[in-house]
Structure 1
Amino acid sequence: MKNSIFSTAIARKVVAMIGAIAMLLGVAACGQANSTDGEGTGLKKVTFMLSWAPDTNHIGVYVAKNKGYFKQAGLDVDIVAVAQAGAEQAVNNGQADFALSNLTNVGMYTTKGAKIKQVMQVQQKPSAIWCSLASNTSIKSPKDFDGKTFATFGSNESDAVIRRMIQSDGGKGDFDKVTVGTSTFQTLSSGKADFGGFYATWEGVQADMYGPKLNCFAEPDYGVPGNADTIGVITSDKTISSNPGLVKKFVQAAKKGYEYAYAHPNDAAEILVKEAPEANLKIAFVKKSMKTIVDRQYWGDAADIKDGSFTFGTNDVKGAQQYFDFLAQENAYTDSHDKVIHTAPQAKDISTDEFLK
């Protein structure tokens, strides 16, 4: 999404797989190199790594920085661009203290030897959508993906999801694939592919506002169990064990930022646009994205959050595990040698809610 609001959507999920083997071959940094005292400020300097280009998934961290929540917690937070091999690798190797990711990616990485955990889950239900151009009238439901070409980034995960959706809708689950070029939108518009993956809270909003119009289908409606999009904040096991106080301070401040954004979406949108000028985001678009998040309660039921029956940031271990088990059944997990692993990661072992209260 460089210099454009039109991003390559599903890359946010599969970026976790790029360079995973290199992660295991590389030498992990000794300690958290960036966790130093800010010169003359008395604040602890830490880094938060983006999962992709700045978007509304990251907005709570930008709000926490803008509103001074991190500073009040004694932290000087540097928000940095995602590393080429992925934020998960950077956190595992000590090159970043915290990052935006999701339990699905954490699970993928832990099968390859990473020692990372999710410490706060922002998104509480799936937002992935699988779409064709509305102008492609031959596709009316997922079964019509049969025999068509999928614009993919090459992950086993997305193949498993598409196959299940097609079969659940009465199709065979057979499709061709082509690697996405500049963006999924452009790959579809060029005629090189018939369908691809997007997110309702971002690309879905883009399509509604600016086109091209899409015809989309959601995973839960077509047999994909659990929650694939358990988006949240991750850190390393090493940081949790060596500096739990740091983790609690960061999580509490970030949580406050996300809660503010959920309650004041328009103000938060303006903060994101201001704090991330390199993304060239349009304010009307960001506001619409936040409206979609709030209206569809992607971050949780606002009433439950208000009355205390749901703690904002709680990890959806049950939903994540259902999705993990599905991926294992579909042979989507591999180890660092690309050998299929049949045992699913355990969501309860790669997430913790201990820093939320």
Structure 2
Amino acid sequence: MHIRHISHPRNPLTAFATKALAAASAIAMMFTAAACGQSNDTSDTGALKKVTFMLYWTPDTNHIGIYVAKHQGWFENAGIDIDIVPVAQAGGEQAVNNGQADFALTTLTNVSTYAIKGAKLKEVMQVQQKPSAIWCSLASNTAIKSPKDFDGKTFATFGSNESDAVVRRMIQTDGGKGEFDKVTVGTSTFQTLSSGKADFGGFYSTWEGVQADMEGPALTCFAEPDYGVPGNADSIGIITSDKLIESDPALVKKFVAVAQKGYQFAYEHPDEASEMLVEEAPDANLETDFVKKSMRFIVDGQYWGDPAKIEDGSFTLGTVDFSGTQAYFDFLAQEDAYSDADGKTVHTAPQSKDLATNEFLSEG
């Protein structure tokens, strides 16, 4: 849904751009590779099971638990030879559905979108427990003081009905009409705004928001929950296929347990985990100070859950927020943001309970 991801000015890939490409090709490609089977098949590397994990965008702090677990050797200790691979052009959701990857990072919202088109996916661990999306203009654009001022302005978008629905609701909640122009982002949203081609766009507070705070440009931003968007749109977590769950539930259980351990470590030791991410993903050109600040922002904002409740065992890191995600799905259905494989609007919201499970989580 939201514009994602600028890990560094030299690497302007966005997850939303990836999702837009995926949506464009979903009808033609959804099941073309279905006969390929799961990527791990029956092949082992020595005593290890080969498992492919696909990124959602370029490496960042939302992937950090996987990189920490790899760095610490926890996957290997669990009998897993993990291969972390770049996101495919059509998206990790399609790759997992078609058996080209075993696991991927995405959101439960994306799973709901693909499920309507026929994919058989499940989120097996939800890392992020509350929204982090922010909708921003350059601070130098003094004409925008609140979302109602987006009315009549130009939105830097990748063309999603979902993002249109969110922006429209925010504007209307703030007393505006919800009418705006759009321009397709070519490289990065920062550049599109700075060039004057658009007036506002979507970012994530945990990444681009941190970047803007450290490096500029200064932004004026507004959060979805403050302006009438219900639930949690940013249910970032790990998905796999129904097929792998049916064929090898023990592997899914082991993978999730190791991932939980990695994210738990990162939540408790954000600076050390940040250094591990930078070391494990050298091609991403991540700056250590930036990654550390992003992780501290996540911890301070309790984006992965209340650390005190995790410590005392009353909340398990990775738990799926069924009510929050369902509230958001219902909103999208109400706004006619869902469509099936034929492009026909779907008015009935998918059910989060059918698209995610906590059965593979290990309790504290």
- Structure 2 residue aligned with 1:312: 317
Partner of 2:288: 283
Distance of 2:108 and 2:31 partners within structure 1: 23
Q: CA deviation at 1:84?
A: 0.4
2:30 counterpart SS class: helix
Is 1:68 matched with 2:73? yes
Aligned to 1:151: 156
**Equivalent residue in structure 2 for 1:56, among 56, 61, 66:** 61
Distance in 2 (alpha carbons) for counterparts of 1:200 and 1:99:
22
The aligned residue for residue 233 of structure 2 is 228
Name the residue aligned to 1:23.
29
Note the C-alpha offset of 1:11: 3.5
Partner of 2:3: none
Task: Give the TM-score normalised by structure 2.
Answer: 0.95
Looking at structure 2, the residues matched to 9 and 76 of structure 1 have their Cα atoms a distance apart, in angstroms, of 26
The worse-fitting range, judged by mean Cα deviation, of 74-83 and 20-29 is: 20-29
2:245 matches 1:244:
no
Determine if the alignment matches structure 1 residue 202 to structure 2 residue 215: no
Asked if structure 2 preserves the Cα contact closer than 8 Å seen for 1:8 and 1:184, the reply is: no
Q: Which whole-Å deviations, capped at 9, do the CAs of 1:45-69 have from their partners, x for residues lacking one?
A: 1000000111100000000111111
* Shift in Å, 1:25: 5.1
CA 12–327 in structure 1, closer or farther in 2 if over 3 Å, else same: same
Deviations 1:246-302 (A, max 9, x none): 000000001100000000000110001000011000000000000000000000000
Counterpart position of 1:142: 147
Q: Distance in 2 between matches of 1:60 and 1:335?
A: 33
> Is 1:176 aligned with 2:181?
yes
SS at match of 1:29: helix
Q: Deviations over 1:192-247 (max 9, x none)?
A: 00000000000000000000011000000000000000000000000001100000
> Deviation string for 1:325-344 (max 9, x for gaps)?
00000000000010000001
Structure 1 residues 79 and 257: CA distance shift in structure 2, 3 A: same
Residue 19 of structure 1 aligns to a residue whose secondary structure is helix
In structure 2, distance between residues paired with 1:300 and 1:13: 26
Is 171-180 or 12-21 further displaced after alignment? Answer: 12-21
Residue 98 of structure 1: how far off its partner (Å): 0.2
Query: Conserved in 2, the CA contact under 8 Å of 1:16 and 1:105?
Result: no
Structure 1 counterpart of 2:33, which letter?
V
Match of 2:330 in 1: 325
Match of 2:354 among 331, 334, 349: 349
- Kept in 1: contact 2:18–2:57 (CA 8 A): yes
Q: 2:14 matched to which residue of 1?
A: 8
Write the distance in 2 (CA, Å) between the matches of 1:33 and 1:106.
20
Q: Which SS does the other structure have where 2:164 is aligned?
A: helix
Residue among 265, 271, 280 paired with 1:266 = 271
Any residues of structure 2 matched to 1:209-224 within 5 Å, and which?
209-224=214-229
Q: Which residue number corresponds to residue 296 of structure 1?
A: 301
| Separation of aligned partners in 1, 2:34 and 2:351 | 24
Who is 1:339 aligned against?
A: 344
Asked if the contact 2:31–2:98 (Cα under 8 Å) also holds between the matched residues in 1, the reply is no
C-alpha contact (below 8 Å) 1:34/1:45 kept by paired residues: yes
**Which residue identity is paired with 1:233?**
I
**In structure 2, distance between residues paired with 1:169 and 1:9:** 28
Q: For residues 44 and 25 of structure 1, what CA distance do their matches in structure 2 show?
A: 25
Match 1:129 to one of 134, 139, 156: 134
Quote the Cα distance in structure 2 between the aligned partners of 1:35 and 1:271: 30
Q: Are 2:119 and 1:114 aligned?
A: yes
Q: Is the 8 A contact 2:40 2:49 kept in 1?
A: no
Shift of 1:16: 5.0
List runs of 5+ in structure 2 lacking aligned partners. Answer: 1-5
1:95 aligns with 2:109: no
Which amino acid in the other structure matches residue 27 of structure 2? I
Q: Give the match's secondary structure for 2:295.
A: helix
Does the CA contact (< 8 Å) of 1:240 and 1:247 recur in 2?
A: yes
Could you tell me whether the CA contact under 8 Å between 1:50 and 1:82 is conserved in 2?
A: yes
Q: Are the aligned partners of 1:3 and 1:279 in contact in 2 as well (CA < 8 Å)?
A: no
**Structure 1: distance between partners of 2:128 and 2:319:** 9
| Whole-Å separation in 2 of the counterparts to 1:200 and 1:186 | 17
Asked if structure 2 preserves the Cα contact closer than 8 Å seen for 1:19 and 1:86, the reply is no
CA contact (8 A) 1:166 1:172 kept: yes
Given that residues 73 and 253 in structure 1 are in contact (C-alpha distance below 8 angstroms), is that contact kept between their aligned partners in structure 2?
yes
Kept in 1: contact 2:244–2:252 (CA 8 A): yes
How high is the sequence identity, in percent, across the aligned residues? Answer: 72
